[in-house]
Chains A and B, each alone.
Chain A
Amino acid sequence: MKEIPLIYEISNEDRDTISLPQDIEFFPQEELPKELLRKDLPLPQLSEVEVVRHFTNLSLRNFGIDLGFYPLGSCTMKYNPKINEELAHLPGFTKIHPYTPEDLSQGCLQIIYELEKLLCNITGMDRFTFQPSAGAHGELTGLLIIKAYLKDKGERRNTVLVPDSAHGTNPASAVMAGFKTIEIPSDERGLVNPNILKKYMNKDIAVLMLTNPNTLGLFERNIEEISEIVHREGALLYYDGANLNGIMGYARPGDMGFDVVHINLHKTFSTPHGGGGPGAGPVGVKEYLTHYLPKPLVDFDGEKYFLNYNIPKSIGRVRSFYGNFSVLLKALIYIKLMGEEGLRKSTEIAVLNANYLKEKLKDIFNLPYPSLCKHEFVLSGKKQKEKGVRVLDIAKRILDFGIHAPTISFPLIVEEALMIEPTETETKYTLDNFVSVLEKINREIEENVDIVKTAPHNTPIKRLDEVLAVKNLKVKWG
């Protein structure tokens, strides 16, 4: 396909802009001294139709869930119901300024309040803050809450434990919250082993961060013992909720002993991922930590909803305003549409889909952890690597079949990892088709390896050189 020129390359400075009111009388430039004004504003100038065609053409070179299967592990790329979009665009929501007086923004406050109640029930936590705008933001918030709590108790604990299978955000957030991190190795089953954990526990450990089901898609079945070990030593247990889709209705983080959780609403609760965001990463805590939550919280006094700034030990704010409101709204609508039975069922079908695919694919690839999985599982391309094909090649070849590639090379503890999360919204037909695509690619590795190693072939562009991008670092036009 031909390159699409950059907007700068089709700009023509003689073109006019969109129509705007003309009644300007108060901008005699003299009023502001010249030294406060800018000399030049080098933005491009295009007509409306050119802008529309440009971005419409770009959109045709992008893959989304609405085009096809998107089994990107740990990202829960489920279908995003359209009704969410339409309702989130109601002017009664979009036009509300965050500083609108409470009596004139009762609807927005009600949305946040209702969502909090539902999430408390789903997770078994007591209160939520909605400021965190993504999962990683939630992690930082949760860790700052834990830090403030420990400081209050007069304890100086400087270390965060994370399993070697953890998301990269876990250690990165820990460092931002001012902690050191220590990695604990997973055992041969891919789990946190209580006996190994015990060896790492001491008075310097502030918190153990766990994803459950973990990034291998395995439920940490020793979670009760883990919780006991951690708490006995005076440390806390943090729940990375990226994988909540694997346990809804079957296990609640609060019941498992977690003190702080974050949830990725854009994953489990179907809000669109928007090409990388906006998401939302609300943080829930147990009762004894509620005084540390960011302020304000939304409360109800029996007649009206209000912003409660009276949170005595609050860590402060982690962003301006109250959070990614329209994401919260979409998540609430989704929960209302699904109801109790629907959410439980979505977890069941997500887990059914994952186990079905795992069993179908385990003969083609290596399956390092062959137990029952939850919403996702991890294969290894070790056998394929021996034939000179890397997991990256396989991922690129998958793209040729109109399917997005799984997450690759993560988690780090699996050699040549392919992390596959089908979600519940995919039919058996889609899964069977995916299996036959992988079978075909596996045959190609035997018979026509070049087609895999030079993939993709059917995409708008051929394989891109990421090393060159770093070498000739060019991050803007011109």
Chain B
Amino acid sequence: MPYFPHTPKEIQEMLSFLNIETLEELFADIPESIREKARENFKLPKAKSEIEIFRELEEISNKNKGKDFISFLGGGAYNHYIPSVIKQIISYPTFYTSYTPYQPEVSQGFLQALFEYQSLICDLTGMEVANASLYEAGSGVAEASLMAYRINGKKDILISQGVHPEYREVLKTYLNGIELNYKEIPLNENGETDLKVIQEYLSNETSCLIIQNPNFFGVIESKIEYISELVHKNNSLFISIIYPISLGILKAPGEYNADIVVGEGQCLGSPLNFGGPYLGIFATKREFIRQIPGRLIGETRDMEGKRGFVSTLQTREQHIRRAKATSNICSNEALSALATAVYLSLLGRKGLKKVAELCYDRAHYARKKLLENIEDLEFPYPSYFFNEFVVKFKKPAKVVYEALKNKKILAGIPLNRFFPERDKELLLAFTEMNTKEEIDYLVKTIREVLK
């Protein structure tokens, strides 16, 4: 066995030192009845060699035929370009085989990178404080609502139906714990969160309103600044869920006075990986810093006055505060946060803007081509959009989707995956990875399919 390097002689020496004869004697404190059950039931396949495992895993990975398809899939996870630098850097063993920086003097590399990550997220979102990561966006939304409740003690959580349906499900699950009230706000005919309903629902009991921008259907919430104002006039908190790439061009949450910002950071340097690990981005205003969940890295000095970095405000955290902690989170997504720090450093202001423009460009090119070339389809939402939009067919979307699949195209997400009644619609996403040729091929194929 390669991963326990002991020789039989060493094992013998160690056993003799312990005055025992067999390894089994080390388990004498486990009741025999339990050991016996384990002997009977702990039955696993025999070990395989690296060569066999390579062959087996390559075979399994080849069953994922989707890897060779042209993809227009989005809905919270996006196929963005990951510069080679990132994979190299997050593969440095001193980074990826380290753990939570409990000993800052030998963890300065990661701590400084996370301090830089926090700074970059603040700049990206226009906020004053960012934590060192949460798991992903869905649980981030739930943590944000719990934080709002800690801040103002009010029990109604309002959330737009423009928020990703899976994030909403996560929020509902979490709210069964602390038992807060969950209320959804529908979209209007333009696909934006309905202002009238917001006004109707805001009350003394409203803790926060949660909006995603651009929303799940790709629509830019054009009244977001006004909505934020309404929420604040009501003495409630405004929580904004972002698609970080869009902030290369779109207004930052800090510019419309968001109180808490949550985002899915996968798009900033992490592969799709069938849904994880991703990165929960979490930022807020300085005034709320003591209510923030998760780890926070701060600057300090060493005994000689040199700048260094440590985990700070640890009295918010479970290992110190236990039942009174702001969250139970311990392990987070530090390595994904590192990937994002490298990504944003590498692209910088110019690069991120360019990627955002490319995404916008591809999506608008596609919409124009679809509009020009295909009659039997419509766009249910006329509003502004960034890189994703809904198309509606006259026939079941499944038919179109399957036909395109036969041509090795993954035509986005059939909306009936989440909303059974919406069986004629697809949600299409475009990134800088999609070429105009791919988009032309998509349009041409849809045209053929609809004939």
What are 23 inter-chain pairs, A to B, with CB distance below 8 A? A17-B350, A35-B225, A37-B250, A41-B247, A42-B123, A59-B89, A63-B106, A64-B94, A96-B67, A121-B41, A171-B323, A178-B176, A224-B31, A224-B33, A274-B98, A278-B334, A318-B173, A321-B278, A340-B45, A348-B23, A462-B303, A469-B300, A476-B115
A325 within 8 A of B: yes
Please tell me which stretch of A97-105, A231-239, A436-444 contacts chain B, meaning at least 4 of its Cβ atoms lie within 8 angstroms of it: A97-105
Q: Does B92 contact A (CB under 8 A)?
A: yes
Chain A residues with CB under 8 Å of B174's CB are: 176, 318
Residues of A within 8 A of B107 (CB): 62-63, 275
Cα–Cα distance between A26 and B359 once the two chains are bound (Å): 10
Q: Are B89 and A26 in contact (CB under 8 A)?
A: no
Choose, from A75-83, A193-201, A283-291, A383-391, the stretch at the interface. Answer: A75-83
Q: Is the pair B295, A276 in contact by a Cβ cutoff of 8 Å? A: yes
**Known A-B contacts A340-B45, A464-B308; A178 and B4 likewise in contact (beta carbons under 8 Å):** no
- Kindly list chain A residues whose C-beta atoms are within 8 Å of the C-beta of B73: 97, 99-100
Listed residue (A148, A218, A352, A459) with the most chain B CB atoms within 10 angstroms of its CB: A352
Cβ of A96 and Cβ of B272 under 8 Å apart?
A: yes
Is B313 in contact with A96, judged by CB distance below 8 angstroms? no
Contacts of B17 in A (CB 8 A): 356, 359-360
The 6 closest A-B pairs by CB, nearest first: A321-B275, A92-B61, A339-B47, A274-B335, A17-B351, A62-B109
Write out, one digit per residue, whether chain A residues 51-86 have a CB within 8 A of any chain B CB (1) or not (0).
Answer: 110111111111111110010100101111101010
A39 to B64, CA, bound (A): 43
A241 contacts which chain B residues (CB < 8 A)? none
Known: A37-B249, A63-B103, A275-B95. A336 touches B109 (CB 8 A): no
Question: B102 to A428, Cβ gap below 8 A?
Answer: no
Are A178's CB and B54's CB within 8 A? no
For B146, the chain A residues whose CB sits under 8 A away are: 176
Chain B residues with CB under 8 A of A56: 89, 92
Please determine whether B98 and A64 come into contact, CB atoms closer than 8 angstroms.
yes
A371 to B44, CA, bound (A): 31
User: 10 more A-B contacts (CB under 8 A) besides A61-B109, A250-B38, A404-B106?
Assistant: A20-B358, A124-B37, A134-B332, A168-B317, A171-B318, A321-B275, A348-B24, A404-B103, A461-B108, A469-B298
Name the one of B48, B132, B306, B318 contacting A339, with C-beta atoms under 8 angstroms.
B48
Cα A461 to Cα B305 with chains together (Å) = 10
In contact, B44 and A107 (Cβ under 8 angstroms): no
Closest chain-A Cβ to B361's Cβ sits at a distance in Å of: 4
* Contact between B251 and A37, CB atoms less than 8 A apart: yes
Whether A48 lies near B351 (C-beta < 8 A) is: no
The answer to whether B345 touches A54, judged by C-beta atoms less than 8 angstroms apart, is yes
Q: In this complex, what residue of B is CB-closest to A43?
A: B349
Report if A58-B79 is in contact (Cβ < 8 Å); known contacts: A3-B306, A372-B28, A464-B104: no
Known: A27-B361, A66-B94, A466-B310. A325 touches B276 (CB 8 A): yes
Contacts of A462 in B (CB 8 A): 105, 302-304, 306
- Tell me the A253-294 residues at the B interface (CB within 8 Å): 255-256, 264, 266, 270, 272-279, 281, 294
Residue pair A27, B30 in contact (C-beta under 8 Å): no
Query: Nearest Cβ distance between residue B58 and chain A, in whole angstroms?
Result: 7
B122 within 8 A of A: yes
From known contacts A27-B357, A95-B67, A172-B328, infer whether A425 and B27 are also in contact, taking CB-CB under 8 Å.
Answer: no
- Which residues of chain A come closer than 8 Å to B267, judged between CB atoms? none
CB-based contact A25/B361 at 8 Å: yes
**For the complex, is A186 an interface residue (Cβ under 8 Å from B)?**
no
Interface of B is mostly: helix
Report which residue of A21, A78, A274, A345 has the largest number of chain B beta carbons within 10 angstroms of its beta carbon: A274
User: Cβ of A273 and Cβ of B166 under 8 Å apart?
Assistant: no
Residues of the A chain whose Cβ atoms lie less than 8 Å from the Cβ of B139? 133, 137, 318-319
Does A211 reach chain B (CB closer than 8 Å)? no
* Nearest A residue (CB) for B34: A251
Residue of A nearest to B45 (CB): A339
Complex CA distance for A122 and B42, rounded to whole angstroms: 6
**A311 lies within 8 A of chain B by Cβ:** no
Interface string of B318-335 (1 = CB under 8 A from A): 111111110111111111
Q: Is the CB of B67 within 8 A of A223?
A: no
In the complex the two chains form, is A474's CB within 8 Å of B331's CB?
no
Q: Which residues of A contact B394 (CB under 8 A)?
A: none
Segment from B8-16, B232-240, B371-379, B443-451 that makes contact with A: B8-16
Mask, B31-55, CB within 8 Å of A = 1, is 1011101100111111110100110
Q: Which of A25-53 contact B (CB under 8 A)?
A: 25-27, 31-33, 35-39, 41-46, 48, 51-52
| Residues A294-346 near B (CB distance < 8 A) | 294, 315-327, 333, 335-346
Question: B116-138, CB under 8 A of A: which get 1 and which 0?
Answer: 10111011101011101101111
A143 to B178, CA, bound (A): 12
What is the chain A residue whose CB lies nearest that of B176? A144
Please give, as numbers and ranges, the residues of chain B lying within 8 Å of A31 by CB-CB distance.
Answer: 364
Nearest CB in chain A to that of B427: its residue = A99
Known: A64-B96, A276-B331, A473-B312. A428 touches B6 (CB 8 A): yes
Q: How far is the CB of A174 from chain B (nearest CB, A)?
A: 7
What separation, in Å, do the CA atoms of A170 and B383 have in the docked complex?
A: 47
Give chain B residues whose Cβ lies under 8 Å from the Cβ of A188: none
Do B50 and A107 touch (CB < 8 A)?
A: no
Return chain A residues, CB-CB under 8 Å to B187. Answer: none
CB pair A23 B119 closer than 8 Å: no
Q: Is A365 an interface residue (CB 8 A)?
A: no
For the complex formed, measure the closest distance between the CB of A263 and the CB atoms of chain B, giving whole angstroms: 13
| Residue A161 lies at the interface, judged by CB distance under 8 Å to chain B | no
Known: A24-B357, A79-B3, A178-B177. A468 touches B300 (CB 8 A): yes
Q: How far is the CB of A226 from chain B (nearest CB, A)?
A: 11
A93 engages B61 (CB within 8 Å): yes
A97-B71, A134-B332, A275-B98 known; A168 vs B277 contact (CB < 8 Å)? no
Chain B residues with CB below 8 A from A79, complex form: 3
B199 CB-CB contact with A under 8 Å: no
**A136-B328, A319-B138 as given contacts; A277 in contact with B103, CB under 8 Å:** no
CB-based contact A475/B113 at 8 Å: no
Q: Which residues of B contact A173 (CB under 8 A)?
A: 328
Distance of A279 Cα from B306 Cα, bound (Å):
33
How many whole Å from A331's CB to the nearest CB in chain B?
Answer: 13
B94 x A63 contact (CB < 8 A): yes
Q: Which residue of A has the minimal Cβ distance to B172?
A: A316
A contact residues around B92 at 8 Å (CB): 55-56, 59
Q: How far is the CB of B133 from chain A (nearest CB, A)?
A: 7
- B37 partner residues in chain A, CB cutoff 8 A: 124, 252, 255
Q: Is B91 an interface residue (CB 8 A)?
A: yes
Q: Give A322 to B92 CA distance when docked, in angstroms.
A: 27
Contact B66 A273 (CB under 8 A): no
A110: CB under 8 A from chain B? yes
Given contacts A121-B43, A317-B138, contact A428 B94 (CB under 8 A): no
